[in-house]
A and B are shown apart, each in its own frame.
Chain A
């Protein structure tokens, strides 16, 4: 009995001791919260009301110097206090821009899959005081999880690879050259950006917008100009969404009516083995010529190989549906967080948007002109419109080409012919990205 008592008291003493030790540890470990708690004194109702008022969004928008800092997802050292414009008027402007994006996505149906998450991310990022784009905010977490480390773009590429059918390209390999010509937009924009006064490295990151390829743009911007990533990603995705607006006028201006009415021969039937081997061939070429592009092309080739192998339908199905959908949500919200006023409403953004537009237009034009040239010197007729699909916005620009083509001549379906340059454009811009990366290595 005595022994039991002693044991119990010993146990009790130990328990109390450890508790005290833990408590003291806690106190020394995180002083700020405890001191804050101690500082709490009885407050009058008016004090409570005024303290609530100071945390409202209305106050944050009106009060110019409330000492709010910019939200850097990594807690980087370039975190600074917001200017009065960024913390007040800028936010209101950005929220209006977000509503315009909603309108474009819902009423005009411009790539709603991209614009809705991006715009909503932008809306969340512009809520004052919530700091959602910061290190511990939802958007900041998403951003750090997959955009800051270039992970999401690669997963998107995997999904695009699993969705892509290289059949049309294999049936008419020559059209791949058109996908190369459209990359002229990238390098033309590079020169343009340098003339406008951007540094070479920043200019290279911006110019990739000309490929009209969101994932590649994010990938490159991360490596070459991380501070401009937001504006570049937003520009790239906006132009991807605006493909049906920007491309048709350029296509019509550069072709004659007869050329637009050209009917192309249906491609030959492609052997299953050709499709199976193709991703490996592309990857081997990357291995030999440009390992810098390997992450992008590797993910793309993997997705395509899984699809064409025909034995892992479950995996390829996941890649082209569930996986890419999940990543699109995350990528959209993460990119949207860069629509915060302090990131987006800077002079550079204007420059980036303009250069991006020029890059994209030049790319389209170069593709169309190249297709005209090919039409002249090739024995098979080639409708120059398919050159516009050389920009890598898959499959949007191929659809646009088909639409313009059938407007000129009902029943002329160019979709399959345009898919060739379109998927070659994806490879082309990944190669161009690799070249730019290799220069700044």
Chain B
């Protein structure tokens, strides 16, 4: 009987530890994600690769954008097909 009581106490300790770690993990995750969102919003303004505001002088950049557009079109087409 004493052993069983002990086991229950043990299980309760597991619960405290387990829930603690789960919440700790998720809280840190939430904080990191919030921070990450802020940093990205600051250094990579919304959808930088898609905005055509950049001057069209750079030909390599232009090329990349064309490729991106083609890929987007193809994936769109494929998605529609499936």
Give A residues with C-beta under 8 Å from B: 169-170, 173-174, 176-177, 179-180, 183-184, 186-188, 190-191, 193-195, 197, 199-200, 203-204, 269, 271-274, 277-278, 281-282, 285, 289-290, 313, 424, 427-428, 431-432, 435-436, 439
Give B residues with C-beta under 8 Å from A: 4, 7-8, 10-12, 14-15, 17-19, 21-30, 32-34, 36-37, 40-41, 44, 46-47, 75
B28 neighbours in A (Cβ, 8 Å): 285, 289
Given A191-B11, A271-B40, 11 extra CB contacts under 8 A: A173-B34, A180-B19, A200-B14, A269-B46, A271-B44, A272-B47, A273-B44, A274-B33, A427-B25, A428-B26, A432-B18
A200 neighbours in B (Cβ, 8 Å): 7, 10-11, 14
Contacts A174-B30, A177-B27; is A436 near B14 (CB within 8 Å)? yes
| CB-based contact B33/A170 at 8 Å | yes
CB<8 Å pairs between A and B, sample of 28? A173-B29, A173-B30, A173-B33, A176-B26, A176-B30, A180-B22, A180-B25, A183-B22, A187-B19, A190-B11, A190-B14, A191-B12, A191-B15, A197-B4, A199-B7, A200-B11, A271-B41, A271-B47, A281-B32, A281-B36, A289-B24, A289-B28, A427-B26, A428-B25, A431-B26, A435-B17, A435-B21, A436-B18
Bound CA span A427–B30, Å: 12
A435 neighbours in B (Cβ, 8 Å): 14, 17-18, 21-22
Within the complex, what minimum Cβ distance (angstroms) separates B78 from chain A?
9
A313 neighbours in B (Cβ, 8 Å): 75
Bound CA span A435–B40, Å: 32
Bound CA span A203–B8, Å: 11
- B14, B44, B47 interface centre (most CB from chain A within 10 Å): B14
Q: Is the interface of A mostly helix, strand, loop or mixed?
A: helix
Bound CA span A277–B43, Å: 14
Bound CA span A273–B36, Å: 9
B32 neighbours in A (Cβ, 8 Å): 281, 285
Bound CA span A397–B52, Å: 41
Query: B21 contacts which of A179, A184, A272, A290 (Cβ < 8 Å)?
Result: A290
Bound CA span A248–B41, Å: 39
Query: B23 contacts which of A177, A186, A197 (Cβ < 8 Å)?
Result: A177
| CB-based contact A273/B11 at 8 Å | no
Bound CA span A195–B6, Å: 10
| CB-based contact B36/A431 at 8 Å | no
| CB-based contact B21/A170 at 8 Å | no
| CB-based contact B25/A274 at 8 Å | no
Within the complex, what minimum Cβ distance (angstroms) separates B76 from chain A?
13
User: In chain A, what residue has the closest Cβ to B50?
Assistant: A272
User: In chain A, what residue has the closest Cβ to B32?
Assistant: A281
User: In chain B, what residue has the closest Cβ to A183?
Assistant: B22
B4 neighbours in A (Cβ, 8 Å): 194, 197
User: In chain A, what residue has the closest Cβ to B7?
Assistant: A194
A203 neighbours in B (Cβ, 8 Å): 11
Query: A290 contacts which of B7, B25, B41, B47 (Cβ < 8 Å)?
Result: B25
Contacts A187-B14, A313-B75; is A431 near B22 (CB within 8 Å)? yes
Within the complex, what minimum Cβ distance (angstroms) separates B24 from chain A?
7
| CB-based contact A281/B18 at 8 Å | no
| CB-based contact A177/B26 at 8 Å | yes
| CB-based contact B8/A285 at 8 Å | no
A180 neighbours in B (Cβ, 8 Å): 19, 22-23, 25-26
Bound CA span A271–B15, Å: 37
Bound CA span A195–B15, Å: 14
B19 neighbours in A (Cβ, 8 Å): 180, 183-184, 187
User: In chain A, what residue has the closest Cβ to B4?
Assistant: A197
Bound CA span A439–B37, Å: 35
Bound CA span A428–B37, Å: 21
B41 neighbours in A (Cβ, 8 Å): 271
| CB-based contact A191/B36 at 8 Å | no
A177 neighbours in B (Cβ, 8 Å): 23, 26-27, 30
Query: A191 contacts which of B8, B17, B30, B44 (Cβ < 8 Å)?
Result: B8
A184 neighbours in B (Cβ, 8 Å): 19
| CB-based contact B29/A427 at 8 Å | yes
